[in-house]
Chains A and B, each alone.
Chain A
Amino acid sequence: MKKGREEILADVLLLLHRLADDWEYDGDVTEDTYLFADMGFESLDVVVLATAVQEHYAQVLPFPEFFAEIGQRELRDISVGEWVDFVYKHLNDVPSQRLEDRGKA
């Protein structure tokens, strides 16, 4: 699945805006927004969000490596821009693996 970065950014922002409305988050959500520090995410929120993004694009993305990398650096947080960069990079990887192929031995 080929997607432009702007398209992915729009998807992610739309999703985060919808979620943020539910908990009455009144800050801006932009590329520079941090999920933990700004939006109050907990780790499981990120795990669920990652699952939701994979569902949306119907594609397996290497989130474990992404999270592991973040876990090793000083600032253990993820900005929306980083998230989008990650999705953009791996969504356009060739070959990529679609979710429906994942369960097939």
Chain B
Amino acid sequence: MTILRQPFDRAQDRAQDTARTVLIGLDGATFSVLNALMQDGVMPFLKGFMASGVRAELRSVVPALTPPAWTSLMTGRSPGQHGIFDFFRKESPQSHRIRFLTSRDVGCETIWSLVNQHNMRSTVLNFPLTFPPPPVDGYVVPGGWMPWRQLRLGCHPEGLYDRLKALPGFNPRELAMDMAHEEKALEGCKQDEYEDWIALHIRREQQWFKVLRYLMQEDPTELTAILFDGVDKLQHLCWRFLDLSYGHTVTLPWEQRVRERCLDYFRQLDGLLADIVRLAGPEATVVFASDHGFGPQVRTFFVNAWLEQHAYLAWADGKGPQPSDTQVLGMGQLARHVYLLDWERTKAYAPMPSGNGIHIVRASEQYPHGLPDAEYQSFRDRLIEELLSVTDPKSGVQVVSRVWKREEIFAGPNLELAPDLTLELQDGGLVSILSSEEAVRPRSEPSGTHRPEGILIARGPGLHQGVQLSELSILDVAPLLLYGLGLDIPEDMKGIVPAEAFEPGWLQDRPVRHGPAGRAQTSPAGTGGEIVYTEEDEIELARRLRALGYIE
């Protein structure tokens, strides 16, 4: 049953005044990069905005990965609650096939639909897991994996795509993902391809801004959210040009050109951010947030190779996928290796390079050689102990800094579908699932990889000005947004409205109110779930993961 509740008076007043809350997602944004850009004059608007609001590091979820992290932000709930652990999930608890996750798999209510319950509307642009578009009262243009040819199918409501198509300069090939544009720069990204690739992402952000501006001007909604994902992509591919503090020098002419192009991306983005905040109006609450931070990855941990060396995994052909040509093979082995495993001799394996998860093969009718239930706990404990003892043979550094049991991070209705173990690597990196003679190998050049510390910058009524807060959780963003709209916070949201963000007396005069727990997602879960990858799909998806920066 739908529970309709009225927002408290301030929300009604604000809605009538068309004051709004705007969420601007900057995928993968980190202060370690932004601080330097603001200091060097590349992002003057953001610098000024930050001085007039609050800022905090924003602790992501485990794993600090786009799908679970943004889903946690837009639901205010943990991965265990919403069931999104990765780009993919096991088909069923007993299966070792994986499948692509869609909006149907988000197991709890999002803030987009929550505000609808209070006669407010949402605009949602470029967020992952928004296809098929949820039937929110407002607007949805999905992001993530949405192919440009099918973008029409993802736009909500009916007719929106045609309205967008009529906008001057609207180009769906640049707005959504088009591999023909992306892959030429990603299949190795030669020196002379960086600049075009970065320019494409500048144009993409401009396309998304064009859509946002149109909707904000034509039919503004109370909650407006847009995600710029080029930040993440640039940092994955161009970390060495962005983070000069790591000892890199950018001396060659082509390196200097690439760095300048990177700076240009952020310069242009800063201009778009300024325009969005201006469109929102002076009374709006504006929140910038990222799903995770970024840092350098200095080595590669070939987790399946390590499992093979310890006799926990065996390849049916005796050698498994080889990293002989990582540009071609890297992600191309995404799920195919599941078919390459010798299931009579495999007890544990990592099927995907994106979530650092290890699955344990449990004994069943289909997998009679799997681990008996009675041995599960002791096997898992032994595996954890051994993983924590892995060291970099050159530096002696501990490679795996932490191993999470699934019940520690994924407790909830989808626990049985989650990886049994999830690794945190010392350098914050992602594992490789390829075969290798060496389980640990230094990278020839550090690449950008995820870190748990993202960003939050917010300005609006009642919020402090120029104050740095202690670290917040990504789960706090949804309560903050709902509070900004004057709405109750569902009691099952794990996050809080951060009191220290507000001026003295503000919360006392306008106390946070909690309401009933959110509804479980009752829409037809399983639509996307019915689409299990074929090998052809895997190759295509692998290309897209590469395009998103999940490269080995």
Q: A: which residues have CB within 8 A of B?
A: 18-19, 22-23, 40-45, 47-52, 54-55, 58, 60-64, 67-68, 70-71, 76, 98-103
Give me 7 other A-B pairs in contact (C-beta within 8 A), A18-B152, A19-B149 excluded: A64-B531, A64-B532, A71-B535, A98-B524, A99-B527, A100-B522, A103-B525
Q: Looking at the assembled complex, report how far the CB atom of B527 sits from the nearest CB atom of chain A, in whole angstroms.
A: 5
Instruction: Given A48-B131, A51-B131, verify A102-B150 contact (CB < 8 Å).
Output: no
Contact B149 A22 (CB under 8 A): yes
Is B541 interfacial (CB 8 A cutoff)?
yes
Contact A43 B537 (CB under 8 A): yes
Instruction: Given A48-B153, A51-B132, verify A102-B526 contact (CB < 8 Å).
Output: yes
Contact B131 A102 (CB under 8 A): no
Instruction: Given A51-B531, A71-B534, verify A99-B153 contact (CB < 8 Å).
Output: no
Contact B534 A68 (CB under 8 A): yes
Residues of B within 8 A of A49 (CB): 150, 153
Q: Can you name 29 A-B pairs with beta carbons within 8 Å?
A: A18-B152, A19-B149, A19-B150, A22-B165, A23-B148, A41-B149, A42-B147, A42-B179, A43-B534, A43-B537, A43-B539, A44-B544, A45-B149, A49-B153, A50-B530, A50-B531, A54-B530, A63-B530, A63-B531, A67-B534, A68-B534, A71-B536, A98-B524, A100-B522, A100-B524, A102-B524, A102-B526, A103-B521, A103-B522
Instruction: Given A19-B150, A45-B150, verify A103-B524 contact (CB < 8 Å).
Output: yes
Residues of A within 8 A of B532 (CB): 64
Residues of B within 8 A of A68 (CB): 534
Instruction: Given A19-B153, A22-B165, verify A76-B131 contact (CB < 8 Å).
Output: no
Is B85 interfacial (CB 8 A cutoff)?
no
Distance in angstroms between the alpha carbons of A70 and B100 in the assembled complex: 19
Contact B165 A43 (CB under 8 A): no
Distance in angstroms between the alpha carbons of A41 and B180 in the assembled complex: 12
Residues of B within 8 A of A55 (CB): 132, 527
Is B200 interfacial (CB 8 A cutoff)?
no
Query: Quick one: which of B169-208 are within 8 Å of A by CB?
Result: 172-173, 179
Is B145 interfacial (CB 8 A cutoff)?
yes
Instruction: Given A43-B537, A51-B132, verify A19-B524 contact (CB < 8 Å).
Output: no
Name A55's closest neighbour in chain B (CB-CB): B132
Chain A contact residues: helix, strand, loop or mixed: helix
Distance in angstroms between the alpha carbons of A63 and B151 in the assembled complex: 21
Contact A22 B151 (CB under 8 A): yes
Q: Looking at the assembled complex, report how far the CB atom of B203 sits from the nearest CB atom of chain A, in whole angstroms.
A: 18
Q: Which single member of A23, A44, A62, A100 contacts B537 (CB below 8 Å)? A: A44
Name B537's closest neighbour in chain A (CB-CB): A43
Q: B: which residues have CB within 8 A of A?
A: 100, 102, 104, 131-132, 145-154, 161, 165, 172-173, 179, 521-532, 534-537, 539-541, 544
Q: Which single member of B151, B152, B526 contacts A103 (CB below 8 Å)? A: B526
Residues of B within 8 A of A67 (CB): 531, 534, 536-537
Residues of B within 8 A of A76 (CB): 536
Q: Looking at the assembled complex, report how far the CB atom of A36 sits from the nearest CB atom of chain B, in whole angstroms.
A: 9
Name A102's closest neighbour in chain B (CB-CB): B526
Residues of A within 8 A of B522 (CB): 100, 103
Residues of B within 8 A of A41 (CB): 149
Q: Considering the complex of A and B, which 5 residue pairs feature the smallest CB-CB distances, nearest first?
A: A103-B525, A99-B524, A102-B526, A43-B540, A64-B532
Distance in angstroms between the alpha carbons of A8 and B489 in the assembled complex: 45
Distance in angstroms between the alpha carbons of A100 and B523 in the assembled complex: 6
Contact A61 B150 (CB under 8 A): no
Residues of B within 8 A of A18 (CB): 152
User: Which among A19, A22, A45, A99 has the greatest number of chain B C-beta atoms within 10 A?
Assistant: A22
Instruction: Given A42-B179, A44-B541, A103-B521, verify A51-B527 contact (CB < 8 Å).
Output: yes
Contact B147 A48 (CB under 8 A): yes
Contact B151 A42 (CB under 8 A): no
Distance in angstroms between the alpha carbons of A36 and B521 in the assembled complex: 35
Name B179's closest neighbour in chain A (CB-CB): A42
Residues of A within 8 A of B147 (CB): 42, 44-45, 48
Name B177's closest neighbour in chain A (CB-CB): A44
Residues of B within 8 A of A23 (CB): 148-149, 172-173
User: Which among A19, A45, A54, A103 has the greatest number of chain B C-beta atoms within 10 A?
Assistant: A103
Instruction: Given A60-B530, A64-B532, A71-B535, verify A52-B524 contact (CB < 8 Å).
Output: no
User: Which among A40, A55, A58 has the greatest number of chain B C-beta atoms within 10 A?
Assistant: A55
Distance in angstroms between the alpha carbons of A55 and B103 in the assembled complex: 12
Name A49's closest neighbour in chain B (CB-CB): B150
Name A36's closest neighbour in chain B (CB-CB): B536
Name B520's closest neighbour in chain A (CB-CB): A103
Name A20's closest neighbour in chain B (CB-CB): B149
Q: Looking at the assembled complex, report how far the CB atom of A44 sits from the nearest CB atom of chain B, in whole angstroms.
A: 5
Residues of B within 8 A of A99 (CB): 524, 526-527
Distance in angstroms between the alpha carbons of A83 and B540 in the assembled complex: 20
Contact B528 A22 (CB under 8 A): no
Name A50's closest neighbour in chain B (CB-CB): B531
Residues of A within 8 A of B525 (CB): 102-103
User: Which among A47, A52, A60, A99 has the greatest number of chain B C-beta atoms within 10 A?
Assistant: A47
Contact A103 B523 (CB under 8 A): yes
Q: Looking at the assembled complex, report how far the CB atom of B401 sits from the nearest CB atom of chain A, in whole angstroms.
A: 35
Name A64's closest neighbour in chain B (CB-CB): B532
Contact A47 B172 (CB under 8 A): no
Residues of B within 8 A of A101 (CB): 524
Distance in angstroms between the alpha carbons of A47 and B540 in the assembled complex: 11
